[in-house]
Amino acid sequence: MKRSGLLASVLIAGLCATSAESEAFPVSRAAWSDAQWAQHCKAVRTSYNPTTPLDVKALTMKPDDPRFVDFLYWVWANKIIEHQVEQVGGTEWNGPKNGVIFHWAPGSRWETHTVVPFEHAIHHIADEHNWLDTMFKEFFEKFGPVKGANIKERLSFEKPPTWAQFLHHIGGAESPYYRYVFHQESTIDPEKRIVTLFGGQGVAFQYTFDRYLTEIKEVVTDCKAYQFFELYDRYGKGFASKSGWAGQMTPQ
């Protein structure tokens, strides 16, 4: 794929200029800042961190940790890695333009955004999700007939339709896709160590546990998981991952 930094910047700048934008990333009142998280977790000591504070910069949980499967279910239950893609430069705010903005966990304590390099974001939505031009035909028909082709084959940084135009189409404030193609989990398979996720337009895809953990690390640190560690110590292994663990009746 050809890239032209100057032309891409021109296209992006043209799509990002609106009069209703905010200067700061708009999060809900529920969201905690990094300073608030640090304040809440600084005195927490659990079996995971019996003598030292929880790491406020990184998630150190490893897949071989006995807590790991419960941790994945806890992440799912709290909707922490549910995310949507915003238009380049931010949807209704003046955001960074050097990559694709992912908006994570809206309405929660963990709500935040990250900026993903264009190459990585393209791999995510085109290769992992296998989005086709037929799924967004009202956009691609303006540039020629739809072909059932992967969107990566139809989009470029130079010649329309561009990636900036497409991200505006699906991630703009008025887009019907902005929340509809929201990515979220549907099943976790501890035996196969696979997580199945889905979004709008009938898309379903799978992550290995390692790939899923990489995604979690975009949002969660040890500090931001302090309540998980407390719950694990309180209730024990299986509290998040096994139904009926407390002896309650479960549907047959």
- Residue 68: predicted pLDDT: 98
Reported as a pLDDT band with limits 50, 70 and 90, residue 23 is low
Sheet of 112-116, strands arranged across: 83-85, 100-104, 112-116
Question: Would residue 66 count as lying in a domain?
Answer: yes
Residue 106 forms part of a structural domain: yes
> Hey, how many other C-beta atoms are within 10 angstroms of the C-beta on 68?
17
Give 8's pLDDT tier (boundaries 50, 70, 90).
very low
Q: What is the mean pLDDT of residues 105-122?
A: 93
Write out pLDDT tens, residues 201-239. 888 999 999 999 999 999 999 999 999 999 999 999 999
- Whether 244 has a pLDDT exceeding 80, the answer reads yes
Residue 244 domain-assigned (yes or no): no
Within a domain: residue 37? no
The count of other CB atoms within 10 Å of the CB of residue 14 is: 11
**Is the pLDDT confidence value at 191 over 80?**
yes
Residue 20: pLDDT band (50, 70, 90) is very low
Q: For 28-81, what is each residue's pLDDT tens digit?
A: 889 999 999 999 999 999 999 999 999 999 999 999 999 999 999 999 999 999
pLDDT band at 15; cut points 50, 70, 90: very low
* Whole-prediction pTM: 0.86
- 198 assigned to some structural domain: yes
Sign of CA dihedral 35, 37, 39, 44: negative
pLDDT surpasses 70 at 14:
no
Domain assignment of residue 216, given as a range: 59-220
**Residues 224/236, Cβ–Cβ less than 8 Å:** no
Inside any domain, residue 240: no
Among the residue ranges 22-26, 71-75, 107-111, the one predicted with the least confidence is: 22-26
Q: What is the pLDDT of residue 7?
A: 34
Residue 193 contacts by C-beta under 8 Å, 6 or more apart in sequence? 63, 208, 209
The count of structural domains within the chain is: 1
Q: Is residue 2 part of a domain?
A: no
Name 126's Cβ contacts closer than 8 Å, sequence gap at least 6.
150, 151, 152
Domain assignment of residue 137, yes or no: yes
